[in-house]
Amino acid sequence: MVTGPSSPAGACWFLVFPDTDAVAALATRARSHGTREIPHPSGRPWLIGRWPDHAVTKAACGPARLTVLGQHAVTPEDAARAARTGSPEAADAYARKWPGSHHLIVSFDGRTLVRGTVTGVRSVFAAEAPGTHGAHLVSDRADVLADLTGADLDEGRLAVQLLSPGILHPLTVQTVWRGVDVVPGDRRVLLDRDGRLRTSRCWSPPPAGLSLAEGARLVRERLADAVTVRIAGRGLISADLGGVDSTAVVATAARAGAKTVAYTAAVHDVLGDDVTYARRTVEALDAVEHHVVPATAVPLTFDRVDTLDDDLDTPSLYTVNRHRRMYIVERAAERGSPLHLSGMGGDELFSGASAHVHGLLPRHPRTAWRLARGFASRHRWSRRTALAQLLDRRPYGSWLARVAHDLTLPQPPMSVPLFTWGTPPRLPPWATGRAVEAARELIQRQARDAQPLSPGHGGHRELATLRTLARFARHVQQMSEPLGVTFAAPYYDDQLVEAALAVRPRDRVTPWQYKPLIAEAMRGVVPDASRHRTTKAHAAFEEETGLRRHRSSLLALWEESRLHELGLVDVAALRDWCLRPLAADLESALLHPTVGCEVWLRTRERNSSPLLPAKTDMGGLTA
């Protein structure tokens, strides 16, 4: 049975234990910090952790136990039907039809299955339990698992987190601990009776054969389902109302009858038109209470970065904009909203990857060249470079090996074409030789066997971007938990991802129309005055002004720098960079991963976990 208070304070987490006495000591220590527990049919601990009542649905049917944790509307009857399917794998297949974003955990006759989401918003991490000869534990938070098992920080993996841009499959989604591994979103964990772990594939990208009209109907239905399961039973909800994607979420919620409090943050850029379009939207909808937050009220980038103490399980790029992102969530909490909806993930789903042209070229050369010329003209790309990329047929592993070789080259300019496997990331100028060597070694090791997430450049880039950026929605949720607010990013739901990717790339990714799929999907939902919008607000002023205004906070981070102590950054070079005037898109953005890592290390140091093993535990293992 579930025990504990209805709304546990602080971070939410869960640990999954195999049905064996070999992990009893670890379960005892976890129990002292958790507030809830659900047993295996044998009576041994199965789930221990902290989660709110509204997040869990469970069922017990004979030898089977099934638990759903997250944002969903699964009833006990639904869970019971899944539990009666006869095996963990069958239960997983049945649960695939449930909308929302959740973890599925099944115990069946001593075997345990754990599955998260494709994008990793609901991540699954696994680690071997010390002293058990192969028994594994599973969790939704890497830090909880690392603390319980006494895992050491992996400086090489931390060095990889300094890369910019930080999208490099499979490295940038890995944890920063030795022995704690992320389970890819397209795979599920299976633990046998002794806790031995294997994974199996449980998701593949859908065939991309739908027309724009067919895909639009599916996206509209799936977005409605995703919003409905989250607003059900809530008297009031809040939401961001800014760009095209958040507008679609707000309009969907309002038309579903939710009393919606929408917030639009103005920007200093005179060309920023979020407020204009938000007002047009609200005028055409009922039941939307609208608040415009003046640009002068919203914190700037780098605001108070030296005092942050969010309990995040991994370093986060969102650290530099933590107070900007959370300002509206905090206002929503004060208004009494228990749920905040976001448009995060819409850019990745609906802008798509121009790299699909690379795969289109051998099959439909005339169409491919027409699209390539359109993208090059729109973005002012070099046609010579674009041609070279389109003719480059290197496999993913070879491309990855080249990334390792070029780690210290200057950042590619913003105008480089995007027809390759990815934008080659670089280490910043302040990365030490030790950091370069460690990151290069890890990338080279992965390059030997690395496979792309999809056979084509475009599909790979889209999935890699979704998996990487979905982490930041997870981080905002972790930041929101202490406020009592559930943060929701429905565009990262499996069913919405599948709906968008099922549309033919040449229909949804085009240089001549802005996000055609969501525009068509929202016909009759978003008012036409907003549905045809083709602009997107930017915050370059907030970035550049924030650096100047909060330079002292930024410089304070490098006093007794933990990254410097680990030998990964040259503090003198880093301080010099922070003292310069920097362009927002490239130079200032290079700081974001480093700041995220430094803040996370300091926070970990301050907030020592009670799950950490004592020196006498497990044969003298130290934290």
Spatial distance between the Cα atoms of 63 and 602, rounded to a whole number of angstroms: 45
Task: Sheet with 288-293: list strands edge to edge.
Answer: 288-293, 260-265, 237-240, 339-341, 486-488
User: Measured between alpha carbons, how far is residue 100 from residues 5, 95, 220 in Å?
Assistant: 24, 11, 14
Contacts of 132 (CB under 8 A, 6+ apart): 20, 22, 23, 195
N- to C-terminal Cα separation, the chain: 32
User: Which residues does residue 36 pair with via DSSP β-bridges, in sequence order?
Assistant: 49
Q: Burial, 581: exposed, middle or buried (Cβ in 10 Å; 0-12, 13-18, 19+)? A: exposed
Q: Which two tokens stand for residue 550?
A: 């909060």
Q: Is the peptide bond before 170 cis (omega within 30 degrees of 0)?
A: yes
Q: Which residue has the tokens 């121009």?
A: 354
In this predicted structure, what is the pLDDT of residue 2?
37
Nearest to 528 by CA among 265, 283, 353: 283
User: Which residues does residue 49 pair with via DSSP β-bridges, in sequence order?
Assistant: 14, 36
Spatial distance between the Cα atoms of 223 and 248, rounded to a whole number of angstroms: 9
Neighbours of 416 (CB within 10 A): 17
Q: What is the DSSP string of 501-569?
A: HTB-HHHH--TTSSSHHHHHHTBTTB-HHHHT-------HHHHHHHHHHTHHHHHHHTTT-HHHHTT-B
Classify 182 in phi/psi space as left (phi over 0), alpha (psi -120 to 50) or beta. Answer: beta
Spatial distance between the Cα atoms of 9 and 239, rounded to a whole number of angstroms: 23
In this predicted structure, what is the pLDDT of residue 22?
96
What ranges make up the beta strands (E) of 29-145?
Answer: 36-39, 45-50, 56-61, 64-71, 101-108, 111-115, 125-128, 136-139
Q: Which two tokens stand for residue 177?
A: 């601990």
Spatial distance between the Cα atoms of 588 and 544, rounded to a whole number of angstroms: 8
Q: Which amino acid is at 116?
A: G
Residues of the chain with pLDDT under 50: 1-9, 615-623
Q: Burial, 4: exposed, middle or buried (Cβ in 10 Å; 0-12, 13-18, 19+)? A: middle
Spatial distance between the Cα atoms of 175 and 180, rounded to a whole number of angstroms: 7
DSSP state of 210: B
Contacts of 516 (CB under 8 A, 6+ apart): 212, 507, 508, 510
Q: Which two tokens stand for residue 224?
A: 């409605």
Secondary element (H or E) of residue 181: strand 180-182
Spatial distance between the Cα atoms of 282 and 474, rounded to a whole number of angstroms: 28
Cα-based torsion angle of the residue sequence 329, 242, 268, 327 in order, rounded to the nearest 10 degrees: 0
- Quote the crossing angle between the two packed helices 274-284 and 244-255, to the nearest 10°: 20
User: Which residues does residue 289 pair with via DSSP β-bridges, in sequence order?
Assistant: 261
What ranges make up the beta strands (E) of 202-287?
Answer: 237-240, 260-265
Q: Which two tokens stand for residue 456?
A: 């084509």
Determine contact, residues 92/106, Cβ cutoff 8 Å.
yes
